[in-house]
Amino acid sequence: MDSNRDETPVPRPSAAFSFEYKHTHVGRHRIHYIEEGSGKPVLFIHGNPTSSYLWRNILPEVARATGGRAIALDLLGFGASDKPSDVDYSLDLHATIVEGFIEELGLEDVVLVLHDWGGPLGMRYAGGHAKNVRGVVLMETFLWDTSWKDFGSFAPAFRLLRTPAGRFLNRTMNLFVNVILPGSVAERDHLTPEIMQRYRAPFPTLRSRKAMAVFPALIPIAGRPEASRRFFDELDKTLKALVCPVMWIKADPGAIITSNTEYRLIALSARLPQLTIRRFGRSLHYLQEDNPGRVAGMIVEWMRENGLVASTSRPPDLRKAA
């Protein structure tokens, strides 16, 4: 594994979200997205309980430094996308939304940047449409059937969240935003009151929090639930079709990939021999809030190394990437 650490003081992330709100329809659902730049697309996909807002300090720098069209969508049930209460928010539905979004925008030769649930959803697309994906960046995600020991001290909380009572608490107390999000960054003072309010804003009611509350029950743990196991089995079968460059940004100590679960990356390397693992430095789960400049810098550097940038693009601002 590559060692790539930087102890330079980290600037606070900006709370500003000065993007034009854009929408497209996938089936009957309106999906919100933001974008900047032109050229070949770089698509950012978030997880739970975030949205395109997670990428606000990263997307513009990647677009500027690579000469590409950087795009971030809000998954169904998140951000400014529709939040229907009459759907089950299954993994198959989310995967259909991602595939439909790419088709609706006519995105070709895509680089995927994936975090949390964005990982399996994006990789499901990549494995099934390998010819349309020219690179993948992964961070704090999972592509496998997990086990309870993977969750360490968080196992009791996730056991609760997978029960009806836990889902009710999640919806009534907005637990993922109010508790899990601030507890999953290394620099808690970076999550200013303004940033936290922006993360709360998409979920003002119990009904609006349905997708967020459903996701914990969809994590495949020891083969359950069955539908999730099948989803991840299918994802694994398609990985062999993926021959493009892949980078995993590994946080220290991390939350999903920790010292106890790093063996998962070793196993993944056997499935994806083109996988490169880069060390991020100090962070837990939400690297984008701990040090967005470093996330952007690592993506740009890796894209340059693999010939995935426009010849007219400008080099990254190393001060921002510190």
Active site residues: 116, 140, 285
Q: Taking the chain, what is the end-to-end CA distance rounded to the nearest angstrom?
A: 21
pLDDT at 19 over 80: yes
In 3D space, the residue among 150, 114, 145 whose CA is nearest the CA of residue 262 turns out to be 150
| DSSP per residue, 236-268 | HHHGGG--S-EEEEEEEE-SSS-TTTTHHHHHH
Q: Per-residue pLDDT averaged across 146-173, rounded? A: 91
pLDDT surpasses 70 at 75: yes
Q: What percent of the chain has pLDDT over 90?
A: 89
Quote the strand ranges of the chain, DSSP E: 22-26, 29-36, 41-45, 69-73, 110-115, 133-139, 246-253, 275-283
- For residue 315, pLDDT beyond 80: no
For residue 225, pLDDT beyond 90: yes
pLDDT of residue 159 exceeding 80: yes
Query: In this structure, what is the dihedral angle of CA atoms 246, 37, 284, 277, given to the nearest 10 degrees?
Result: 20
- For the chain, which residues make up each domain, given as ranges? 22-305
Range with lowest mean pLDDT among 140-144, 151-155, 225-229, 286-290: 151-155
What's the rounded mean pLDDT across residues 109-116?
A: 98
User: Tens of pLDDT along 238-247?
Assistant: 999 999 999 9
CA dihedral (143, 147, 151, 155) positive or negative: positive
User: What angle, rounded to 10 degrees, do the helices at 226-238 and 118-128 form?
Assistant: 50
Task: Give the pLDDT of residue 2.
Answer: 46
The pLDDT value recorded for residue 154 is 82
Q: Which of 115, 141, 140, 128 is nearest to 59 (CA)?
A: 115
Superfamily holding 22-305: Alpha/Beta hydrolase fold, catalytic domain (3.40.50.1820)
Please choose, from the candidates 301, 298, 190, 281, the residue with its C-alpha nearest in 3D space to the C-alpha of residue 6.
Answer: 281
Picking from 266, 49, 254, the residue whose alpha carbon sits closest to that of residue 154 is: 254
Structural contact between residues 27 and 101, judged by C-beta atoms closer than 8 angstroms: no
CA pair distance 74, 34, nearest whole angstrom? 9
Instruction: Reply yes or no on whether the pLDDT at 4 is more than 70.
Output: no
pLDDT, average across residues 170-196:
95
Between 108-112, 152-156, 264-268, 273-277, the lowest mean confidence (pLDDT) is in 152-156
Question: What mean pLDDT is predicted for residues 35-45?
Answer: 97
319 pLDDT tier (thresholds 50, 70, 90): very low
Maximal CA-CA distance, the chain: 54
Residue 101's pLDDT band (cuts 50, 70, 90): very high
Q: Tens digits of per-residue pLDDT, 245-281?
A: 999 999 999 999 999 999 999 999 999 999 999 999 9
Average pLDDT over residues 173-187: 95
User: Would the pLDDT of 314 be above 80?
Assistant: no
pLDDT, average across residues 163-175: 92
What's residue 9's pLDDT? 66
Contacting residues for 176 by C-beta, under 8 A, at least 6 apart: 48, 49, 170, 212, 213
| pLDDT > 70 in the chain, percent | 93
**Mean pLDDT across the chain, nearest whole number?**
93
The whole-number pLDDT of residue 7 equals 52
Q: What is the C-alpha to C-alpha distance for residues 321 and 280, in angstroms, rounded to an integer?
A: 11
Choice among 127-136, 149-158, 195-204, 212-221 with the minimum mean pLDDT: 149-158
SS3 of 28-50: the string is: CEEEEEEEECCCCEEEEECCCCC
Q: What is the pLDDT of residue 136?
A: 98
